[in-house]
Amino acid sequence: MGDRANFGSKLGVILATAGSAVGLGNVWRFPYMTGENGGAVFILIYINCVVVLGIPCMISEFIVGRHGQANTARAFSKLANGSPWALIGYMGVLTGFLITGYYAVVSGWCLQYIWASLIGHLQGNPEYFKTYFTELSTDPVKPVFWTVVILFMTYLIIEHGVRSGIERASKLLMPTLFILLLLIVGASCMLPNATKGIEFLFKPDLSKLTADVFLGALGQSFYSMSIAMGCLCTYASYFSKYTNLTKSATQIALIDSMVAILAGLMIFPAAFSVGVNPDSGPSLIFITLPNVFQQAFASLPLVGYCISLLFFLLLSLAALTSLMSLHEVSTAFIHEEMKMSRKKAALVVTISASVIGAFCSLSMGAVDGLVIFGKSLFDWFDFITGQVFLPIVGFLTCIFIGWFVPHHIVRKEFTNDGELKSRGYLRLFYLFIFLVKYVCPMAILVIFLHQFGLLK
Ligand code: PHE
């Protein structure tokens, strides 16, 4: 497959993959998880999870993807050699596909918030922000409209292919995202009493360390690094044979964690400065934050207006680059397995993800009957993809690489066919095998059992 598409440069590899990792998970989920789980202690455990578990799992997916030079399903099949292990790849594609529609709904809310900030609708008292969000999420038209808009924006990028679509867009969007991030962090940290928020993020209070903090950090690190959704494997199939997988995974993990911590530095100093407790859970970004920005910059309304606008712009850019990677998982699969042109495949994915997204969105209150066993369709997607499929696919991938695939094949991929052969690097290889063989599967099993109350 000499003519298979690939990323044109090292920078492209890093920015595109970091674009997949940096998303709503960093700017939305990480801050509220930190708020709920004791601040600095959570961050400390989180970083350990990224290094010990996240990076090895990321490398495992890279190995499958680059070795396979094909979409996730076929890449796993190639290494599985006709055994049922091939199913992991299909599960990865399915998980990636299912999450696309649901992720697009939340991304759509971000677009609506850009619009609302722009026309000055994001101003009022705390009660107003609550009503605003409830009305938006239960509206039958607006969120569906924005979901479809963001999916079509993704389509316009994806249909241009790997280099001129994904890579080019990432090279533009990721630096923009960084600049916005630094601007808002600067403004937030200059507020009076900002130091309290900074302390909350960096001064660990070990008395807050509980099993839940540990499990929360573990789950968050996997979600944030885009593990087990087929994305890393699909992107790795576009890496060149010279890409150093360990180095790239480490750089991507570093960027991802830095963005998460900077997102904390954007939100906590502002929240503490106006005395708002940042432990409000998922509504932190959409309800608490607009209010915090408005109050914090009350004496400089124009700055407040710009910060709020830039914040939702940043959130949307982060969501878009993640959505691109999710979309690509199914696009590559349909394009290669069903022999459809790339454009057509991308369109099929966009339309079907729009339908799923629309149903998820409508299940939040606009239409009765989309609530199954007391959970809305939206919550079901969140639950099935994040809490069931993600741990299963992650667990099986580690077992597959650690126990099933012959180690000489894993080693060949890990060392770029023997090119990377210093003694230190080979030690890293043995460490990697140890981690994916024992440590990662055990840790994933523990979160999984705990989630279902089987382990207290
Ligand atoms: N990692 C992304 C985030 O932090 C979410 C994501 C998960 C994207 C899986 C793609 C695949 O938001």
Write the residue with the smallest CA distance to atom 11 of ligand 1.
226
* Better-scored residue on pLDDT, 364 or 91: 91
95 lines ligand 1 (CB under 6 A): no
What percent of the chain shows pLDDT beyond 90?
73
How remote is the CA of residue 322 from the centroid of ligand 1, in Å?
Answer: 6
- The confidence score (pLDDT) of residue 335 equals 96
**Neighbour-count burial of 211, counting CB atoms closer than 10 A to its CB (0-12 exposed, 13-18 middle, 19+ buried):** exposed
- For residue 246, report the distance from its CA to the centre of ligand 1, in Å: 20
pLDDT bin (cut points 50, 70, 90) of residue 337 is very high
What is the per-residue pLDDT across 60-70, written as a single tens digit (0 to 9) for each? 999 999 999 99
> What integer pLDDT is reported at residue 260 of this predicted model?
97
Is the pLDDT reported for residue 413 higher than 60?
Answer: yes
Asked whether the beta carbons of 188 and 194 are under 8 A apart, the reply is yes
Q: How far is the CA of 181 from the centre of ligand 1 (A)?
A: 18
Tokens of 200: 């909350």
For the cut 70, the answer to whether the pLDDT of residue 1 exceeds it is no
The lowest-confidence range among 73-82, 117-126, 144-153 is 117-126
| Dihedrals phi, psi of 250, to nearest 5 degrees | -65, -45
Instruction: Return the pLDDT at 381.
Output: 84
Which residue is closest in CA terms to ligand 1's atom 7? 226
Q: Using CA atoms in the order 59, 182, 187, 124, what is the torsion angle rounded to 10 degrees?
A: -60
Q: What is the pLDDT of residue 51?
A: 97
Which residue, 13, 22, 14, 16, is CA-closest to 256?
22
Give the pLDDT band of residue 398 (cuts 50, 70, 90): very high
User: What is the Å distance from ligand 1's center to 226 Cα?
Assistant: 4
pLDDT digits over 215-245, tens only?
889 889 999 999 999 999 999 999 999 999 9
The one-letter code for the residue type at 84 is: P
Q: Which residues contact 320 (CB under 8 A, 6 or more apart)?
A: 107, 150, 153, 154, 157, 173
pLDDT of residue 447: 80
23 C-alpha vs ligand 1 centroid, how far in Å? 6
pLDDT at 76: 98
Q: Give the mean pLDDT of 177-190.
A: 93
Question: Closest ligand 1 atom, CA of 21?
Answer: 1
Residue 391 Cβ contacting ligand 1 at under 6 Å: no
The pLDDT of residue 456 is: 62
Quick: pLDDT tens for 87-117: 999 999 999 999 999 899 999 999 999 999 9
Average pLDDT, rounded, for the chain? 92
Q: Say whether pLDDT at 2 is over 60.
A: no
Whole-number pLDDT of residue 237: 97
pLDDT digits (tens, 9 = 90+) for 274-323: 888 777 777 788 988 888 888 888 888 899 899 999 999 999 999 999 99
- Residue among 224, 256, 261 to mutate when testing ligand 1 (max atoms within 8 A of CB): 224
Q: Which of 209, 219, 210 is nearest to 447 (CA)?
A: 219
CB of 110 closer than 6 angstroms to any ligand 1 atom: no
**CB proximity list for 192: less than 8 A, separation 6 or greater:** 273
User: Does the Cβ of 224 fall within 6 Å of ligand 1?
Assistant: yes
pLDDT at 63: 98
Rounded average pLDDT over 76-86:
96
* Residue 388, Cβ density class (10 Å: 0-12 exposed, 13-18 middle, ≥19 buried): middle
Helices marked H in 237-386 — which ranges? 245-273, 288-296, 301-337, 342-362, 377-382
Query: 3-class SS at 372?
Result: strand
Task: Give the mean pLDDT of 118-142.
Answer: 90
CA of 192 to the centre of ligand 1 (A): 34
Ligand 1 centroid, distance to 314 Cα (angstroms): 15
Query: For atom 10 of ligand 1, which residue has the closest CA?
Result: 226
Q: Is ligand 1 within 6 A of the CB of residue 350?
A: no
